[in-house]
């Protein structure tokens, strides 16, 4: 078997609020994922899709209650930036759109990042890491 595509499905309280938040940040709507129960956006060059389902539909699909994101977290999505200045611009845009900053901009090794959550508490970080010839996550043996 070969997986052709992977995407994320998240639950939200208010589709209009979610649509406005991600539109204000400049993300492109995924035209195939728009209904009374769903709004959908495309992220990055690889066109990663996140579907945001109204909570009742999401709970039905997973046959369980949703995690209370005020009490814990299950995932953080990382968004790449091309420079420290771009990270700082993301910070301004996220604040203007109504996101909550949970990690202020800071140096991280040779990189730079900050963390935010959307109005429903889904977490993201925006990270700049200088391009290297080799993958920065390789471990020397």
The predicted-structure confidence for 24-76, as pLDDT tens digits, reads as follows 999 999 986 568 899 999 999 889 999 999 999 888 888 888 888 888 887 89
What is the rounded CA–CA span in Å between residue 44 and residue 28? 10
- Of 2, 1, 22, nearest to 10 by C-alpha is 22
pTM for the predicted model, two decimal places: 0.82
Looking only at the bridges linking them, the beta strands covering 111-117 and 100-108 are antiparallel
Q: What is the pLDDT of residues 101-141, one digit of tens each?
A: 999 999 988 999 999 999 999 999 999 998 754 344 433 33
First to last CA, the chain: 32
Instruction: Please report the domains of the chain, with CATH numbers, ordered by start residue.
Output: 1-66 (3.10.180.10), 74-141 (3.10.180.10)
């Amino acid at each position: 078997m070969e997986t052709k595509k992977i995407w994320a499905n998240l639950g939200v309280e208010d589709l209009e609020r979610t649509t406005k938040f991600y539109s204000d940040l400049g993300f492109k709507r995924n035209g195939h994922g728009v209904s009374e129960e769903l709004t959908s956006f495309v992220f990055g060059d690889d066109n990663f899709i996140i579907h945001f389902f109204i909570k009742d539909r999401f709970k039905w699909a997973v046959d369980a209650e949703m995690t209370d994101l005020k009490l814990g977290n299950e995932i953080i999505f990382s968004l790449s930036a091309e420079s420290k200045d771009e990270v700082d611009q993301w910070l301004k845009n996220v604040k203007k759109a109504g996101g909550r900053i949970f990690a202020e901009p800071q140096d991280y090794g040779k990189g730079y990042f900050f963390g935010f959550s959307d109005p429903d508490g889904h977490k993201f970080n925006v990270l700049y890491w200088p391009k290297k010839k080799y993958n920065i996550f390789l471990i020397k043996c």
